[in-house]
Structure 1
Amino acid sequence: MKNIVVVGSQWGDEGKGKITDFLAQDADIVVRYQGGNNAGHTVYVDGVKYAFHLLPSGILNPKCMNVLANGMVIHPGALMTELKQLNRPYQLFISDRSHVIFPHHIEMDIENEIQDKIGTTKKGIGPAYSDKSRRKGVRMIDFIGRDRLSIIREKMELLKVSQEEKEILIKDYLAYSDFLKPMVTDTSRLLNEHIHTKKVLFEGAQGVMLCLDHGTYPFVTSSSPTAASVPLNTGLAPWLIKGAIGVTKAYTTRVGEGPFPSEISGTLAHEIRERGHEYGTTTKRPRRIGWLDLVVINYAKRVSGLSYLAVTLLDVLSGVESINVVTHYELDGKRIDDIPADFNDFKRVEPVYLTLKGWNEDITKVTSFDELPDACKAYLNTIEKLTATEVAIFSVGPERNQTILRKSVL
């Protein structure tokens, strides 16, 4: 499959950045297609940690073209900061139809979060998407255009700060506009020119369970991370997307509010959180910990069309005596195998577990499936069997060389 989407198959934070970075070594183009700097993709290369919020994970490959597509909302200051900290050559193209985040969006996000307690990152993402749907947004083409000063001034008037502070922000946003202008182009046209001859990776933010349409509404993000949203958010025909690889942790995590059927607490949850460094890349919030939920994975497969799975952080479970996986739920005494649309029903489901034997061996140095302990092999085989989806990739540590490719997907 030459053009493939890397999709989060849980509630985000699955390790999509790591998998995209790994696959990007053999890719020509990497495209971020939705979200903004509410994303947090962590990549380790030669012992160096890179934390990306807006940049595609292919940015570390100097031969790779990187695209911020029209489905994104972009904070220009955050993007400029990321690029200046990169300190290495890169190729970046920004859609002229992507939307710009302004300070008042962040101000609104903070106020909304106090009232609604959704668990957002308070980066202004939701209000920016709201402005887009209300036809009140500012697109990147306007942000770099001839009327940019009047547009920026108009947006700064929405802020509840002094005029002096507004003038400082106006100067900042003019500087952002100058810096980003050479990178802004029609990325739909760019992608269509290359889609038939290049290997293209599409990288989403968050995960399927945070999808605005198919996630645990209202505790969701403001866009769709599913593979189905790629054509609309990039300006490509749907049939040009050849498949999707669903990234899942060997367990489950969630940040923010909302139902989480397989959640665990106590000493084991703390140990997994510390061993897996389960703190938000963007917010630094501790992530909630749970067993692997195969109802969630199968749901993600259905609504996002997963071709393969990539299982990350497998090494974190070493030393856990017995490991549970959710096979189905019970609701009011009845078995269900899907995610209820009714939020209150989803809060009430009781997970039904299959318990598997754990393993004690250190697996961080294995280089193939055959080198894994038998119990670990059985765990991956169980995931494959109960999802009817092949585990094409698994990882046993943060570095690129700790990612094992079982089947070529690009």
Structure 2
Amino acid sequence: MVDVILGLQWGDEGKGKIVDYFAPNYDIIARFQGGPNAGHTLYVGDKKIVLHQIPSGIFHQNTTNIIGNGVVLDPVTLKKECEAVAAFGIDVKKNLFISQRTNLIVPTHRALDKASEISKGESKIGSTLKGIGPSYMDKTGRNALRVGDIMDKSFITQYIKLRLKHQRLLDNFHFAEDISAWEEEFFDAIEFLRTLNIINGEYFINDKISSGKKVLAEGAQGSMLDVDFGTFPFVTSSNTISAGVCTGLGVAPQKINKVFGVTKAYCTRVGSGPFPTELHDETGEELRKIGNEFGATTGRPRRCGWIDLVALKYTCMLNGVTNVVMTKADVLDSFKELNVCTEYLINGSKSTEVPFQLTHADVKPEYKAFEGWNCDSTSLKTGDNLPEAMQRYISFINQYIGSPVSHVSNGPQREQIIKIND
């Protein structure tokens, strides 16, 4: 069977640590979508590392890690990441496997991403400029190069054909930046990629499942960034919800078992787009400061606000969430009063549904206030020791969203996770 861990907000929920925490219970960790726009932060001992494409189970020696076909892969980023992981004594050639059907990000994808974002002016979506969108466009346009293609003797010819197509688009944007250095780096990374384990991913993972192996599918970004169900057009280019596991790994729906949804105890967002509970005051700034809310991939300061239960219930519904993992609960330790959004006031009418076009709606959050717990929660080990005020906060969220909060993360370290509910 396949269990899933994914984000329930706008990304940055702390999924990397959660995958790392659960990884010892699984034989295989598999990334099923997204690309180097992901930033999953882990701590190995007292050392911090951010993974962008490699699954977060890589530091567990007996765990197989798969990059699935739903991912768009930047070979340059992968090479650098493998080198960083190797510095911790991990042999990626032993336990990292990449699906042949995984689409490649080429240098001109990055150029197109940059040119497109510049052309949007004030309407820009806040792209990470990693080439994600253009790569997925080539996938749906049936022009993409895939990892399996690098083993073909005609790969260079295929690459040149795609680059010429991209160049015509770049000319329309009047993009004149020299990317020759990017190309040199790219082909060096392609040589490295050829030395890794390239597999027929769908057969590989289904054979493992049939033999009784336990698989954990790792999502990137968050459900509110899903290309279909997120805050369009301020979304990513893939399906970030649990349905993406099937198409991103090649597994059947009936093989999905538990779905662990990760949410912060509050809300953040990076880049442009609607954010109903965003705080533009001292409280928002305090959340950012205490939570160290800066993007793991971009370094950009994150927008901060109270937890949005309307959106959270929506994403739990879309994903079929069986367990909720609440991260960064300790960030709220010093707040005397907390608020949770329970309704939207949309153009004067109350609603508990996420509207079709949140971008254009006049949305005002309606809040319910809670007393803060005003104590240091970072050393707590069991659910029985949670402050009463925190228990009331979590209990209300459980009741509202209809999915149990089974784990609470109370600090950045691997061991700082409290199991409170099966």
- TM-score, length basis structure 1: 0.95
State the partner residue of 2:417: 403
**Contact conserved, 2:383 with 2:419, CA < 8 A, in 1?**
no
Any gaps of 5 or more consecutive residues in structure 2?
none
Question: Which residue, 263, 267, 278 being the options, matches 2:278?
Answer: 263
Q: Mean alpha-carbon deviation: is it higher for 82-91 or for 200-209? A: 82-91
**Contact conserved, 1:329 with 1:335, CA < 8 A, in 2?**
yes
Measure the CA separation in 2 of the matches of 1:220 and 1:344: 11
Superposed displacement of residue 276, structure 1:
0.9
State the partner residue of 2:299: 284
Superposed displacement of residue 377, structure 1:
1.3
**Contact conserved, 1:156 with 1:169, CA < 8 A, in 2?**
no
Measure the CA separation in 1 of the matches of 2:46 and 2:395: 31
Question: Which residue, 314, 338, 351 being the options, matches 1:299?
Answer: 314
Measure the CA separation in 1 of the matches of 2:185 and 2:411: 40
Matched, 1:134 2:170: no
Superposed displacement of residue 169, structure 1:
5.0
The one-letter code sitting in structure 2 at the alignment partner of 1:390 is: P
Superposed displacement of residue 268, structure 1:
1.6
The alignment yields a C-alpha RMSD, in angstroms, of 1.8
Any gaps of 5 or more consecutive residues in structure 1?
none
Q: Against the structure 1 CA distance between its residues 256 and 169, is the aligned structure 2 distance closer, same or farther, given a 3 Å change threshold?
A: closer
Measure the CA separation in 2 of the matches of 1:259 and 1:300: 16
1:72-91 correspondence runs (5 A)? 72-87=71-86, 88-89=89-90, 90=92, 91=95
State the partner residue of 1:317: 332
Question: Which residue, 193, 198, 219 being the options, matches 2:234?
Answer: 219
Measure the CA separation in 2 of the matches of 1:285 and 1:163: 24
1:113-128 correspondence runs (5 A)? 113-116=117-120, 117-128=124-135
The CA deviation string for residues 29-60 of structure 1, in whole angstroms up to 9 with x for no partner, is: 00100010000110113211110111111111
State the partner residue of 2:107: 103
Measure the CA separation in 1 of the matches of 2:52 and 2:126: 17
**Contact conserved, 2:107 with 2:183, CA < 8 A, in 1?**
no
Question: Which residue, 402, 406, 415 being the options, matches 1:388?
Answer: 402
- TM-score, length basis structure 2: 0.92
Question: Which residue, 333, 342, 345 being the options, matches 2:357?
Answer: 342
State the partner residue of 2:220: 205
Measure the CA separation in 2 of the matches of 1:282 and 1:164: 24
Measure the CA separation in 2 of the matches of 1:86 and 1:193: 27
The one-letter code sitting in structure 1 at the alignment partner of 2:369 is: T
The CA deviation string for residues 280-338 of structure 1, in whole angstroms up to 9 with x for no partner, is: 01110000001000001100011111111000000000110100001111223322111
The one-letter code sitting in structure 1 at the alignment partner of 2:371 is: K
Measure the CA separation in 2 of the matches of 1:162 and 1:255: 28
Superposed displacement of residue 407, structure 1:
4.3
The one-letter code sitting in structure 2 at the alignment partner of 1:130 is: M
Superposed displacement of residue 152, structure 1:
3.2
Superposed displacement of residue 114, structure 1:
1.5
**Contact conserved, 1:149 with 1:174, CA < 8 A, in 2?**
no
State the partner residue of 1:375: 389
State the partner residue of 2:190: 177
Query: What's the % identity of the aligned pairs?
Result: 40
State the partner residue of 2:251: 236
Superposed displacement of residue 373, structure 1:
1.2
Q: Against the structure 1 CA distance between its residues 255 and 164, is the aligned structure 2 distance closer, same or farther, given a 3 Å change threshold?
A: closer
Count the aligned residue pairs. 405
Secondary structure in structure 1 of the residue aligned to 2:262: strand
Measure the CA separation in 1 of the matches of 2:359 and 2:111: 30
Q: Against the structure 1 CA distance between its residues 360 and 165, is the aligned structure 2 distance closer, same or farther, given a 3 Å change threshold?
A: closer
**Contact conserved, 2:35 with 2:132, CA < 8 A, in 1?**
yes
The CA deviation string for residues 160-208 of structure 1, in whole angstroms up to 9 with x for no partner, is: 7999964x65554333222222321111111101114111111111111
The one-letter code sitting in structure 1 at the alignment partner of 2:48 is: K
**Contact conserved, 2:143 with 2:162, CA < 8 A, in 1?**
no
Q: Mean alpha-carbon deviation: is it higher for 154-163 or for 37-46? A: 154-163
